C-alpha cells in the first residue's frame, strides 16, 4: 500500500490543476460564507437564524469544486490513457483506488480545514455588525462552543466524504462529464425534489437519504429536535453513500477492462 500511496501522491501533487483546485475550494467556500454572513441581518432579539450554519454556507459551493477535484483524479486517467500505465505498474486495483481515496481525503481535509476555519473567522468578524450580538441572543461564534465546533469539524468531514463519493461515482462511470453531472445532480437536484413532494412522510424520507440534506445536518446548531436526523446520523448517511459509491466503483474497476 505504501508504494501505491506514494505513486498516487506524486501523481496528484505534480498536476498543476490540483493545487489550483485546492486554492479554488478555499476561496469559493470562504467567499460565499462571507457574502452570506454579510447579507443576513438580525435586527431584533430572538431572530431565528442559525449563525454557525450561516457562516458555513460556502460549503454548498465548495463541495462542487471538491467533487471536481475527485472526479478529475480518476477520470483524468481514463481520458488520457494513464490508467493503463497505472494498472500495469500497480496491478492490485482495489489498492490503487484505496490509495487514491486516502490521498484525496487527505487533501480535501487539509483544504476543508483552512476553508472552514476562515469561514468561521469571517462569520465571527462580520456577524456582530449585522445584529448577531449577545443582546440579540447570538454570542460571538467560537470553536470553544460545543455545537459550533461540531458544525465546523463536521463540515470538514462532509467535504472529505463528498470527495470519496465523487471518486466512487467517477470510477464507476469513467467519463468525466457524465460523472460530474451525476454527482452534482445528486448534490443539488435531490434537495429540490423534497420540496416538490407534498406528502410529509415522503419528504422526511427523502430528506433522510439525500446526501446534501442529511450530510449538512451536521451544521445545524439550533432547533436540533425538529431535524429528521441527528447531526452525526446525518453525516453517517453521507458516509454510507460514499462507502457504497467506493465499493461499487472498486468492484467495477476490478471486473472491467481498463
Partner 1 sequence: MTTITPYRSDLRAGRDGFAQLLRAEWTKFRTVRGWMIGMTAAALVTILLGVLFAAGSHSSCSKGPIEVACPVTPVGPGGEAVDDRFYFVHKSLTGDGSITARVNTMTGQIRKPDVTPGVRNVISGVVPWAKAGVLIKESTKQGSAYAALMVTGSHGVRMQHNFTEDVAGRPGGVSKESPRWLRLTRSGDTLTGYESADGTNWTKVGTARLAGLPSTVRVGLFATSPGDLTVGQAAIGGVTAAARFTEVTAVMDQVDLQGAVSGGPWSHDDVGVVSDVDGTPHHPGGVVESGGTFTVTGVGDMAPGTEGMAIERTLTGALSGLIVVIVMAVMFITAEYRRGLIRTTLIAAPGRGRMLAAKATVIAMVTFVTGLIAAAVTVEVGTRMLRANGNPLLPVSPLTELRVVVGTAAFLAVAAVFALALGVVFRRSVAAVVTAIVLIVLPYVLATTSVLPLSGAQWLLRLTPAAGFAIQQSVPEYAHVLGYYAPQMGYYPLAPWAGLAVTCGYAALALGLAAFLLSRRDA
Fill in the per-residue mask, 200 to 219: x = in contact with partner 1 (CB under 8 A), - = not in contact.
Answer: --xxx--x-----x------
4 vs 152, beta carbon nearer partner 1: 152
Footprint of partner 1 on 227-246 (CB under 8 A): 227-228
By the 10 Å C-beta count (0-12 exposed, 13-18 middle, 19+ buried), 252 is classed as middle
Q: Residue 142's closest CA among 221, 65, 83?
A: 221
Task: Choose between 10 and 79: whose C-beta lies nearer to partner 1.
Answer: 79
CB of 52 to partner 1, least distance (A): 14
Q: Which residue, 4 or 32, has its beta carbon nearer to partner 1?
A: 32
Which residues from 30-69 bind partner 1, rule CB under 8 A? Answer: 36, 39-40, 48-49, 57, 60-61, 64-65, 67-68
* Smallest separation (angstroms) from partner 1 to the CB of 2: 30
Contacts of 10 (CB under 8 A, 6+ apart): none
Q: Decide: is 165 part of the binding site for partner 1 (CB under 8 A).
A: no
Nearer to partner 1, 86 or 166 (CB): 166
Stretch that binds partner 1, among 124-132, 145-153, 189-197, 249-257 (CB under 8 A): 189-197
Among 16, 135, 144, 196, binds partner 1 (CB under 8 A): 196
Task: Determine the interface stretch with partner 1 among 86-94, 178-186, 233-241, 245-253 (rule: CB under 8 A).
Answer: 178-186
Residues contributing to the site for partner 1 (CB under 8 A):
36, 39-40, 48-49, 57, 60-61, 64-65, 67-68, 71-72, 75, 79, 176-178, 180-181, 184-185, 188-189, 191-199, 202-204, 207, 213, 223, 226-228
Amino acid at each position: 500500500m505504501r508504494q501505491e500511496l506514494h505513486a498516487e501522491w506524486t501523481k496528484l501533487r505534480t498536476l498543476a490543476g490540483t493545487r489550483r483546485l485546492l486554492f479554488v475550494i478555499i476561496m469559493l467556500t470562504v467567499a460565499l460564507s462571507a457574502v452570506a454572513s454579510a447579507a443576513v441581518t438580525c435586527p431584533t432579539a430572538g431572530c431565528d437564524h442559525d449563525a454557525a450554519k450561516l457562516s458555513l454556507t460556502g460549503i454548498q459551493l465548495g463541495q462542487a469544486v471538491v467533487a471536481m477535484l475527485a472526479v478529475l483524479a480518476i477520470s483524468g486517467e481514463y481520458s488520457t490513457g494513464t490508467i493503463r500505465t497505472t494498472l500495469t505498474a500497480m496491478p492490485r486495483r482495489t489498492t490503487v483506488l484505496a490509495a487514491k481515496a486516502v490521498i484525496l481525503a487527505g487533501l480535501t481535509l487539509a483544504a476543508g480545514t483552512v476553508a472552514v476555519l476562515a469561514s468561521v473567522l469571517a462569520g465571527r468578524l462580520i456577524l456582530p455588525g449585522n445584529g448577531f450580538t449577545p443582546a440579540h441572543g447570538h454570542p460571538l461564534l467560537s470553536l470553544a462552543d460545543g455545537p459550533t465546533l461540531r458544525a465546523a469539524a463536521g463540515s470538514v468531514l462532509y467535504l472529505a466524504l463528498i470527495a470519496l463519493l465523487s471518486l466512487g461515482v467517477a470510477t464507476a462511470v469513467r467519463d468525466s462529464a457524465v460523472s460530474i453531472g451525476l454527482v452534482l445532480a445528486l448534490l443539488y437536484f435531490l434537495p429540490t425534489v423534497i420540496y416538490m413532494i407534498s406528502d410529509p412522510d415522503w419528504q422526511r424520507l427523502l430528506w433522510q437519504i439525500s446526501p446534501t440534506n442529511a450530510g449538512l445536518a451536521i451544521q445545524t446548531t439550533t432547533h436540533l429536535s425538529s431535524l429528521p436526523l441527528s447531526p452525526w446520523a446525518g453525516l453517517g448517511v453521507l458516509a454510507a453513500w460514499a462507502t457504497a459509491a467506493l465499493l461499487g466503483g472498486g468492484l467495477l474497476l476490478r471486473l472491467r477492462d481498463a
